Amino acid sequence: MFVTEWNSSALVKAATKAGKKKNALTPMTFSLLHATDFADRLLYNIIPPLKAGMIVLADRYAYTAFARDATRGVDNRWVRELYSFAVRPDLAVYFRVPIEVSTDRLMARRVKLKFYEAGMDMGWSSSPIESFRIFQGRVLEEYDRLVEEFSLDVIDARSSITEQQRAFRKLVTRHLAGAPEEQVEAEPMETTEAR
Amino acid sequence: MTDSTPHENGANAGVRPGHYYGYGIPYLPIDGYPGKIIAIEGTDGVGRSTQIRLLREWLEVQGYGVIETGWTRSTLMQPTIELAKSSNTLNKLTFALLYATDFADRLEKEVIPALKAGFIVLADRYIFTALARAQVRGIDRTWTRNLYGFAIAPHLVFYLKIDERTLIRRVLESRGMNFWESGMDLKLADDIHDSFRAYQRSLLREYNSMADEFGFRLLDAKRKVEAIQEELRRQIGEFLAESDSRPI
C-alpha cells in the first residue's frame, strides 16, 4: 500500500497512549483499542511479508489479548470472535514463568510499574506491586487455559536464556523442516472451542 | 474471514429492549435499569439532530432526565477518529474497530450510567450506522454483528427514511458533499456526486434491509420538520405511558 503505513500505526498508538495516560480506558475500550492496533499491524506489517513468503516473528500475538481481556472481565467468547480476522500463527510459543519469577525479574529491572500492566484499573489493590501480583497471576492462569485451547508450545522460561534459546530454535527448526517452502495461505483464526 | 449465518450472540433480532444484544459486558450487569434508549437513525443530512433537539426540549419540559449521545462523540476517540478521517490512512477494518471503540466508550461512560439513573438516552445514530457502513465496505456481516454484541438493544429505533434524489438535493443545498459522506474511500467513482449517489444508495439499501430485523419505526424524512416531530412525540408518548416511565 501507500507510504501511509507509519502514520496509521502511530494514529492508533496515539489514542491508546492518550487513554492510558489519563487512565481513561475501560476493559472494553482497552480491548478494542488493542484489537484496532493489532488489525493495523496485521494488515500493514504481517500479511505483506507473509505473502512474500517471509517469516514473521511476532512478539506477543492475539493470545495476549485473550489472556488480559478475560482477566479484566471481558467475555472471552466475544474476544475470540473479535480476533477472528487474525491469521492463525504457524507456530505459537508460550514462555511460561511462575508469578514470583515474573515479579522478581520486573522488580530487578525497573522501579515503576505501569498502571495498566499492573492491572491497577481493576482496583484490586492500591499497591502497584500487589496489584501486579494479583493481576498477572490471573493472566498466567488464563495463559495456561490458552495453552490447551490453542495447542501452544511451551518453553520453561525459568531456565537460562541460552537454554531457552536452544529449546526455541529446536521448535522452530522442527517446524520449518516439516513446513512446505511457501506457507502463505491466510487461515482465519477460529477454534471450535471458542464457538 | 468466512461468511456464515448470523450468529446468535451478535447484534440481532429477538433481543428484548434494554438488554445486551450478544455476550454483553459481563462486568456491567444492566438488568432492571429503569432508563430508556431512543435511537434516531438515518443517513447523513436527513435532519436527525434537529429532531433530537426538539425531542429533548419536549421531554425535559415534562420532567424527564435526558442525555444525548452521538456518533464519534466520545472524549476518548473523537480526536483520533477526526485525525483518521483527515489523513485517510486507515483501512476499513481499523475504521470499523475505531467506531466500535468510540461506541463502547460512550456506552460505558454515558449510556449505562444514564440508564441506571432512569434517564432517557437520545441516541443520534446507533449501531445501525456502523453495521450499514461496514456492510457497504464488504466487512463480514457476522463479524460486525458479533463485534456489537456488547451493545444494548434500544427501546425504540426511529429510522428517518429518505430517497436518494431528495437526499442529494438537501445535502447540496445545505453544506455540500464531503469525502466521507460520499464514500470516496471506496473508489466507486472519481466524481464526488457520482460517488455520493452510489455510496448513499448502498447505505440506504442496508438500512432498509435492517428495518424488519431490528424493528425500525419508519418515518418519512421528506415531511416537514414539525410533522415528523409530532409523529415522534406521539409514538414516544405512547411508549412512555405504556412502559409506565415517569419523570424523575
What was the pLDDT predicted at A75? 97
B76 pairs with which residues across the strands? Answer: none
% of chain B at pLDDT higher than 90: 61
Q: Is B33 exposed, middle or buried (0-12, 13-18, 19+ CB in 10 A)?
A: middle
The pLDDT, as a whole number, for residue A2 is 28
Q: State whether A18 and B79 contact (CB < 8 Å).
A: yes
Residue at B121 is within a domain: yes
Determine, yes or no, domain membership for B246: no
For B196-248, write each residue's pLDDT tens digit: 888 889 999 999 999 988 999 999 999 999 999 999 999 999 999 998 776 76
pLDDT, mean of residues B100-106: 93
* ipTM for the complex shown: 0.86
Q: What is the mean pLDDT of residues B139-154?
A: 96
Question: Which of B189, B50, B181 has its CA nearest to residue B122?
Answer: B50
Any domain includes B158: yes
How crowded is the C-beta side of A73, counted as CA atoms within 13 Å?
A: 15
B87 and A7 within 8 Å at the Cβ level: the answer is yes
Residues of B in contact with A15 (CB under 8 A): 76-77, 79-80, 98, 101
CB contact under 8 A, B89 and A35: no
* Lowest mean per-residue pLDDT among A89-93, B22-26, B58-62, B181-185: B181-185
Is residue B31 classed exposed, middle or buried when 0-12, 13-18 and 19+ CB atoms within 10 A define those classes? exposed
Q: Which carries the bigger pLDDT value, residue A110 or residue B124?
A: B124
Question: Distance (Å) from the C-alpha of residue B78 to the closest C-alpha of chain A?
Answer: 9
| Contacts for B220 with CB less than 8 Å, ≥ 6 apart | B161, B228
Q: Is the pLDDT of residue B25 over 80?
A: yes
- Would you state the torsion angle of the CA atoms of residues A22, A23, A28, A30, taken in this order, to the nearest 10 degrees? 80
pLDDT reading at B177 higher than 50 = yes
Q: Cβ–Cβ of A188/B24 closer than 8 Å? A: no
pLDDT band at B97 (very low <50, low <70, confident <90, very high): very high
Distance CA A127, CA A141 (A): 21
Q: Do B149 and A78 touch (CB under 8 A)?
A: yes
Does pLDDT of B32 surpass 80? yes
Joined grid coordinates for residue B229: 416531530
B67-106 exposure pattern, b = at least 16 Cβ within 10 A, e = fewer: bbbbbbbbebbeebbebbbeeebbbbbbbbbbbbbbbbbb
A79-93, B9-23, B111-125: range with lowest mean pLDDT: B9-23
Q: Is residue B139 part of a domain?
A: yes
Beta carbons within 10 angstroms of residue A113's beta carbon:
19
| Chain B nearest CA to A192, separation (Å) | 14
Residues from chain A contacting residue B111 (CB–CB below 8 Å): none
Q: What is the domain count for chain B?
A: 1
At A48, the amino acid letter reads: P
- Weakly modelled stretches of chain A, pLDDT under 70: 1-14, 19, 21, 110-111, 179-195
User: What is the model's pLDDT at position A182?
Assistant: 52
First to last CA, chain B: 47
- Confirm if B174 and B35 have CB atoms less than 8 A apart: no
Name every chain A residue with its beta carbon within 8 A of the beta carbon of B105: 26, 29
Q: How many Cα atoms sit within 13 Å of A114 on the Cβ side?
A: 8
Which domain covers residue B66, as residue numbers? Answer: 36-163+216-232
pLDDT at B248 (0 to 100) = 62
The predicted structure's pLDDT at residue A191: 44
Residues in B 122-151 with any Cβ partner in A closer than 8 A: 140, 143, 146-147, 149-150
| B160 touches A: beta carbon within 8 Å | no
Exposure letters A46-75 (e unless 16+ CB within 10 A, then b): beeebeeeeeeeeeebbbbbbbbbbbbebb
The phi and psi torsions of B219 (rounded to 5 degrees) equal: -130, 140
Do the Cβ atoms of B87 and A11 come within 8 Å? Answer: yes
Q: How big is chain A by its Cα radius of gyration, in Å? A: 18
| Residue B129: per-residue pLDDT | 93
Percentage of residues in chain B with pLDDT exceeding 70? 91
Domain CATH code at residue B139: 3.40.50.300
> HSE of B138 in the Cβ direction (CA atoms, 13 Å)?
5
Does B157 fall in a domain? Answer: yes
Report chain B residues whose CB lies below 8 A from the CB of A8. 84, 87, 89-91, 94
In a domain, B86, yes or no: yes
Using the predicted structure, report yes or no on whether residue B122 has a pLDDT greater than 90: yes
Q: From B97, which residue of chain A is nearest by alpha-carbon distance?
A: A36
Confidence of residue B87 (pLDDT cuts 50, 70, 90): low
Give B124's pLDDT tier (boundaries 50, 70, 90): very high
pLDDT computed for residue A181 by the predictor: 57
* Residue among A5, A11, A25 with most chain B CBs within 10 A, to mutate: A11
Task: Write down the pLDDT at residue B135.
Answer: 93
Domains of chain A with CATH codes: 57-178 (3.40.50.300)
B17, part of any domain: no
B19 in a structural domain? no
Give the whole-angstrom CA distance, residue B1 versus residue A193: 17
For residues B1 and A86, is the Cβ–Cβ distance under 8 A? no
Over residues B79-84, the mean pLDDT reads 72
Residue A7: what pLDDT? 36
How many Å separate Cα B196 from the centre of its chain? Answer: 20
**pLDDT confidence of residue B91:** 81
